[in-house]
Amino acid sequence: MVRIAVLDRDLCKPSKCGLECVRFCPVNRTGGRAVELVGGKPVIHEEACTGCGICVKKCPFKAISIVNLPDELEKQLIHRYGVNGFKLYGLPVPRQGSILGIIGRNGTGKTTALRILAGELKPNLGISDGEPSWEEIIRRFRGMEIQNYLKRLAEGGLKPAHKIQYVELVPRRVKGSIRSLLEKVDERGIALELAKQLGLWKVIDRDVRRLSGGELQKFLVAAVLSRQADIYLFDEPGSYLDVRERVRVARIIRSYIPKNSYVVVVEHDIAMLDYLSDYVVIMYGEPGVYGIASRPYGVRAGINHFLNGYLPAENMRIRSEPIRYTISFTGKAPVEGKTYIRWTAIRVSLDGFKLTVEPGELREGEVLGIVGPNATGKTTFVRTIAGEIEGFEGSVEKPFPELKVSYKPQYVSPETYGPENTVEAVLRQANPASLMPGSWLYRELVKRMRLDRLLDRKVGDLSGGELQKLAIAVALAKEAHVYLLDEPSAYLDVEERLNVAKIIRRLTETRGVAALVVEHDIAVQDYIASRIMVFGGEPGVEGHASSPMPLPEGMNMFLRELGITIRKDPETGRPRINKEGSFLDRMQKRMGRYYYIATSKKE
């Protein structure tokens, strides 16, 4: 067995814990040296460590992880981030002329794998004292499918074009208008055509520092596709985009990729990944500790194996129980209970934007989903319901004076909770029960989203994804009758999204509360919504919202406007977007059933 010891140096605080990992190590107490202090922080010597786990239990900040793995896995070691750092085993193998999709939990090495495939990070084979030569790296993978790819990469025979994960970093690094920047990178003569296809023409002369997240995302996709490259890599191209834009981006990637090029896509929206990919690789392991790239699978089989939690080719169970998109609300009669919030026809004018909303209500025990394109008033409506916007035409009635509302806004910042406050203090203020290990709030919110590892961290030190998870936990931990959640799945991986969806459903079904959820991930919306509101209009100018309607009826109307058809996978229950022009796509459009019909397991 190979022993992996990982020390999270952000969580480790030796000045506050008394270095119990050093003092209580059995090897150290018998004169050995398994854990020692180097440069003010502990270092675990894996060759001396017995894997007893005492240091893991003694560390009050959960900064230490020790894992035993099979010896043969070490032959596949690609990269390690320093002593006691994260290890990556194996690489996803791109194929010329095909699109490789990568799916997996956050922290299992997806972005690291992309950086290696792009030639931005040279694999070190786990060597901490020095750097292996390319000859050593290529020799290590002799006889493997990845060897030829790495050889071409080392010889400079592969030119990459890489769309990064965090689009918000772009305005800090580049300056200029969309037009000028695209013209600079346009090696294929298609940049302006792509800008039109992606809906950027209205803002083509706008400075990148004034773009929204969705506009930045589409700008980067256009910039990458405009390059003359051998391998195109897209890290989460669906973030910040609504359903319409995600499908549009997927179609454009498929249409404009040069023939015989390599294409790799990392995406957490499984409907988009399914629609875009030709085959998939699953990244699994212990987040932050190690990651392993699976063998390639067909798209449907691979995504289903990931959701089932078992990889047959590896004979490996990666999750204790499967993820199922079982529909508990679809097809049921409308919920008959208390009406928590009721609104008449509403007209809102805000900074030149106009929104009209048809009458509706939010009732006890239901989840009301909200779908529609970006900039058509979804957040404006939620803020109006939350009481943040005044001076509109119409009324919002709350029949119960004692009604409590918990609101998670679309965008959160450290100032929302106080940058100097700790995660623990913020959660305790929201609900002390969320920090009690025996409570379901702790198990489902804090533990499952790995916030227990961040309790001592200051809010101002959290990453965007960590801050998003804290915002969700705070909103759902509060005792309320109504929960308003604006894009809760942003930055979350598939498991985290479904965990949040399960909690929302459990709250509404068992406590009789209600939730209103703005969400662009079709799979999440399909999973939790009992009724749905459809938004449309001209983005940034005017929006229109329908009255709440049953999920099948609302989704059918929404998808008809998008020109998209969806079928339901019979094994996992997840929604799958039909390829445009496919047999099922044509058949469902003829039937007028855009959402959705079941297909056989042989499909």
pLDDT at 510: 81
Please write the tens of the pLDDT for every residue from 555-570: 899 889 888 898 888 8
pLDDT at 543: 92
Task: Quote the CA–CA distance of 219 and 324 in Å, as a whole number.
Answer: 35
The whole-number average pLDDT for the span 358-381 is 90
Nearest CA-CA partner of 104 in 276, 290, 243: 290
The whole-number average pLDDT for the span 241-255 is 89
Does 487 lie in the same domain as 391? Answer: yes
Please give the DSSP secondary-structure letter assigned to residue 411.
Answer: S
Show which of 30, 54, 69 is a domain's final residue: 69
28 within a domain of the structure (yes/no): yes
Q: What global pTM score does this model have?
A: 0.83
Q: How many CA atoms lie within 13 A of 99 on its CB side?
A: 22
pLDDT at 328: 44
Q: What is the CB neighbour count within 10 angstroms for residue 284?
A: 23
Q: What is the CB neighbour count within 10 angstroms for residue 162?
A: 21
194 within a domain of the structure (yes/no): no
Does 571 lie in the same domain as 459? Answer: no
Residue 329 has pLDDT above 60, yes or no: no
Q: How confident is the model at residue 47 (pLDDT cuts 50, 70, 90)?
A: confident
Does 355 lie in the same domain as 296? Answer: no
521 within a domain of the structure (yes/no): yes
Q: To which residue do tokens 């994260």 refer?
A: 86
Task: Quote the CA–CA distance of 49 and 3 in Å, as a whole number.
Answer: 8
Residue 30 has pLDDT above 60, yes or no: yes
447 within a domain of the structure (yes/no): yes
Give the strand pairing for 542-545 and 531-538: antiparallel
Show which of 317, 343, 363 is a domain's final residue: 317
Does 37 lie in the same domain as 128? Answer: no
Task: Quote the CA–CA distance of 592 and 589 in Å, as a whole number.
Answer: 5
212 within a domain of the structure (yes/no): no
Does 136 lie in the same domain as 246? Answer: yes
125, 78 contact by CB (below 8 A): yes
Is the backbone of residue 203 left (phi > 0), alpha (psi -120 to 50) or beta?
alpha
Does 260 lie in the same domain as 138? Answer: yes
Query: Which residue range(s) make up the domain with 52?
Result: 2-69
Please write the tens of the pLDDT for every residue from 48-97: 888 888 888 888 878 888 887 777 788 888 999 888 889 999 999 999 99
Does 396 lie in the same domain as 339? Answer: yes
221 within a domain of the structure (yes/no): no
Does 130 lie in the same domain as 100? Answer: yes
Please write the tens of the pLDDT for every residue from 132-160: 899 989 988 888 888 889 999 998 889 99
Q: What percent of the chain has pLDDT over 70?
A: 97
Residue 180 has pLDDT above 50, yes or no: yes
Does 234 lie in the same domain as 155? Answer: yes
286 within a domain of the structure (yes/no): yes
Show which of 317, 338, 366 is a domain's final residue: 317
**Between these two residues, 368 and 450, which has the higher pLDDT value?**
368
pLDDT at 12: 82
pLDDT at 595: 85
- Reduced to 3 states (helix: H, G, I; strand: E, B; else coil), residue 203 is helix
292 within a domain of the structure (yes/no): yes
pLDDT at 331: 43
Picking from 159-163, 170-174, 540-544, which range would have the lowest pLDDT averaged per residue?
Answer: 170-174
Number of domain units in the chain: 5
**Between these two residues, 275 and 600, which has the higher pLDDT value?**
275
Q: How confident is the model at residue 1 (pLDDT cuts 50, 70, 90)?
A: low
Give the strand pairing for 346-350 and 35-38: unpaired
Please write the tens of the pLDDT for every residue from 472-512: 999 999 999 999 999 888 778 888 888 888 888 888 888 88
Does 581 lie in the same domain as 530? Answer: no
Task: Quote the CA–CA distance of 522 and 577 in Å, as a whole number.
Answer: 10
Does 236 lie in the same domain as 109? Answer: yes
- Reduced to 3 states (helix: H, G, I; strand: E, B; else coil), residue 48 is coil
Q: What is the CATH number of the domain that holds 14?
A: 3.30.70.20
Residue type, 506: R
Q: What is the CB neighbour count within 10 angstroms for residue 517?
A: 26
Task: Quote the CA–CA distance of 558 and 520 in Å, as a whole number.
Answer: 12
Picking from 250-259, 339-348, 572-581, which range would have the lowest pLDDT averaged per residue?
Answer: 572-581
Q: What is the CATH number of the domain that holds 376?
A: 3.40.50.300
Give the strand pairing for 316-317 and 360-363: unpaired
Does 296 lie in the same domain as 234? Answer: yes
pLDDT at 562: 83
